[in-house]
Chains A and B, each alone.
Chain A
Amino acid sequence: MFDLIIAGGTVVDGTGAKGFIGDVAVKDGRIAAVGERLDGDARRTIDATGRVVAPGFIDPHTHFDVQLLWDGAARPALAHGITAVVPGNCSLSLAPLRAKDRRALVGMFQQIEEMPPEAFSEAFEWTWEDFAGYREAIEPGLSINVAPLVGHSVIRLWVMGEAANQRAATPDEVAAMQDLLRQSLDAGAVGLSTSFVDVDENGRPVPSRFADFSELDALSAVLGEQRRMLQIVPEFYATDITIARVDQLAELSLKHGIPTTFSPLFDNRLAPENVSRVLTRVEEQFARGAQVWPQMQTRPIDISFSLLRPSLFFARFPRWVRVLRLPLPERIAALKNAEIADKMIEDAGPDGGMAAFGELVVRAGEAPEHLVGRTLAEIAAERGQSPARALIDVSLEHGLDVAFVAASRGHDDTSRIGPMLASPFVHIGASDGGAHLASFATYGDTGYLFSEFVRGSGALSLEQAVRKITSDTARIWGLKGRGELKPGFAADVVVFDPDTIARGEERPEFDMPGDGMRYVRDSSGVETVVVNGEVAWEGGRYTDAKSGVICPLN
C-alpha cells in the first residue's frame, strides 16, 4: 500500500519531458511509482485533476539561515512550492562562528541583507559554534529541505579573528581555513560562498574580500575533494569585472573539478549589453569544460522604504545611512538640522537628487492621499524644492512615515527577461529569500516565472520552466535524488493550477522577532506541497509536518 497517490494531474516530471495525465505514488518519503494509471491502494489520495503535479521547486540563493531557527518552513517560501532552499550565500553563514564573533556577523547581516538585530537575539539561543552544531540546531524543526552553504567571511573570522578584515592570510591560516571548510562540508555544507562587493555595518569590506586569489584557490581545492559548489557575489554593476570573475571561476572550476555560480546577473537599460556579453563568456567557458552558472532573478526589484528605517536604497549615500541609523528622536533632530540636511542634499548630487530620487513614487499606506502614486519629482516641482529636499521635508511633515517605491531596480524591462531565463546557461535563482526584509518581498519568484514567462510571454514552456527550477537546480548543486518525479527520488512534490499560479501583492507582515516588519507575498495557485512524502502545505495552510532534511549530496 502506498502512503499517498496524487491522481489524475498533468505530471510534469522535471526533466523537460512533455507532461502527461497520470498518477504519482509515494511511499516511505520517496516517489514509488509514476504512470498514466497506477494500480494499488493508498492511505490517502489527492485528486489533482486539472492541476500540474511537479517536483518541488528549489531556491538556490537565500538567506534563511536565521529564520530557520524559529520557522522551519521558511515562510512563505514553502507556500510558493519551494521544497528546498540554499542559505549561507554571499560569504555569510551562522556557522562556523565563535561566540565572540557573533556581534560582527550580526552587523554584516544587518548591513548586507537588511536583517534586524532582534532576529538574532530574541527568538533562539545560540547553542553552537561549529557547522555540525548549527545543523543540529535547525534540522529537527525543518518542514523544508535545506542545502546550506558555509560562508568564507565567517571561516576567516574563526581563523583570523579581528585580522580577518585587515589583511591577507598566512599559509598556516589558509591551512586552518581548509581544515574548517573540510569539517563543514563533512557536516553537510553544500559548498562555500564568498563576496567581492559587500561591506559591513561600518562600511568596511567584509572579510572574504581581503582574501587573495591563492586563498580562494586553496579553499576551492577542498571543495574539489567532494565536488562541492563555490558561490560568489561579483561586482554585478560592471560588465568587464563580471567577465573577469567568470574567468576566475572557470579557472577554479577546471582546476578543481567544481561547479561554480555567481549571483546576481541583471539586465538593465543602463548596461543593455551586460547580459549578452556575460553569457557569451559563460558559453565560451562551458565549451572548455568549466561550470560557471550565472543566476538570474525572474523579477525586477521594487525597493520600498521610508526614512523611518535605513534601506539599501541609500547605500550610495553614506551620510544618509548614518543619519537614518540614529534613534528616532535624534534622527528627526538631525533631519531638521539645516547644516546636516544641506550636506545630505549636497551628497544626493549636483542636480538636487533629481537622478537619484526623482523617480521615487509615494506608496499607499500612511501617506496622505494626495501624495500617493506621484513621483518625488512632481511633488518637488509643486513645492519649488529639489527632490532631495522634498524627500526630507515631506517625510518630516508626516513623522517620517511616508513610504516610497524605487521601482525596477535590477531588471527594468520584463519583456527582455524571458528569453534570457530560457537560455540553457542561465540558472534561475538569486531570490535573496529571507533577506532585505523591510525593503522588498523576496518571495514568489517561481509564481512570477509561470505568470509572466509561461502564461504571459510564452518565453518558456511549462515543462521548461519546471525543469529550470527543479532538476536543473538539483543537478547544478549536486542534490542527491531530488528535482525529478522518478521512482526512488525524494517525494518533494508541488500540485499547482497552471492557470492561476502567481505571486500575490507585496504586503507588510509583522511576524519577525521583536514585532519586526517584513514585506511578503502570498502564493496563489499552489494547492499542495509535499516534502519527503509528508504534506507540508495544502489548502492555504501549513501542516505540522517536520519532514525537511539537510539535503544529502551526490
Chain B
Amino acid sequence: MNARLIGASIKRMTLARQRRFVTPHPDETLEALAARALPDAPLADAVDQIRAWNLHIFAMRKPRGLMLGSDVVFVEPPLT
C-alpha cells in the first residue's frame, strides 16, 4: 500500500474520486518521493509542487519538512 496511489486504486472500486496521496517509503527523501509520485515532471518542479500541496508537513510542522513514515503526502492539489 505504501507505494501505490491509494485514491487511484479505490476509484476502480467505484468510490467517489478523492485527492490522491502516497505515503513515504522508509528513509525516502522529498526528492525521491517527488520523482516517484510525479515522474513526468522536472524534479525541481515536482519538489515544489509536493511542498505546496502539503503544507501540513512543509509549513505547519516543527521541525518544518520532517517527513514521517505515517504521513499522508498529497500528489495533486485540492479537488475543489
Q: What residues make up the interface of A, taking CB atoms closer than 8 Å to B?
A: 167-168, 196, 203, 205, 208-217, 235, 238, 240-241, 243-245, 247-248, 251, 280-281, 284-285, 288, 318
Contact = CB atoms under 8 A, between A and B. Distances in A.
B56 A210 contact: no
21 contacts: A167-B26, A167-B27, A168-B69, A211-B69, A212-B2, A212-B23, A213-B1, A214-B1, A214-B2, A235-B56, A235-B72, A240-B18, A240-B74, A241-B56, A244-B6, A244-B7, A245-B72, A247-B18, A248-B6, A251-B1, A285-B15
Contacts of B10: 247
Contacts of A243: 18-19
A203 B66 CA distance: 12
Interface in B47-77: 56, 62, 66, 68-70, 72, 74
B44 interface: no
A240 B78 contact: yes
Contacts of B6: 244, 247-248, 251
B1 A203 contact: no
Nearest to A170: B26
Contacts of A167: 26-27
Contacts of B68: 205, 209-210
A281 B26 CA distance: 29
Given A203-B62, A243-B18, A211 B70 contact: yes
Contacts of A209: 68-70
Q: Which of B16, B70, B72, B74 has the most CB of A within 10 A?
A: B70
A247 B7 contact: yes
B25 interface: yes
Nearest to A205: B68
A280 B18 CA distance: 11
* 7 nearest A-B pairs in the assembled complex, by CB-CB distance: A212-B69, A168-B26, A244-B72, A213-B23, A209-B70, A209-B68, A240-B19
Interface residues on B, range: 20 to 34
Nearest to A240: B19
Contacts of A288: 13, 15
Interface of A is mostly: helix
Contacts of B7: 244, 247
Contacts of B78: 240
Contacts of B2: 212-214
Contacts of B62: 203, 318
Given A209-B70, A210-B70, A212-B69, 8 more contacts: A196-B70, A209-B68, A210-B68, A212-B23, A235-B56, A238-B56, A247-B10, A248-B6
A120 B23 CA distance: 36
B15 A284 contact: yes
B70 A208 contact: yes
Contacts of A217: 1
A212 B24 contact: yes
A471 B65 CA distance: 44
Nearest to A235: B56
A175 to B, nearest CB: 16
Given A168-B26, A251-B6, A216 B74 contact: no
A196 B57 CA distance: 12
A215 B2 CA distance: 10
Nearest to B55: A238
A213 B16 CA distance: 23
A280 B16 CA distance: 9
Q: Which residue of A211, A213, A241, A280 has the most chain B CB atoms within 10 A of its CB atom?
A: A213
Contacts of B26: 167-168, 212
Contacts of A211: 69-70
Contacts of B25: 212
A213 B18 contact: no
A281 B1 CA distance: 19
Interface string B16-38: 10110101111100000000000
A431 B2 CA distance: 32
Contact of B69 (A210, A235, A245): A210
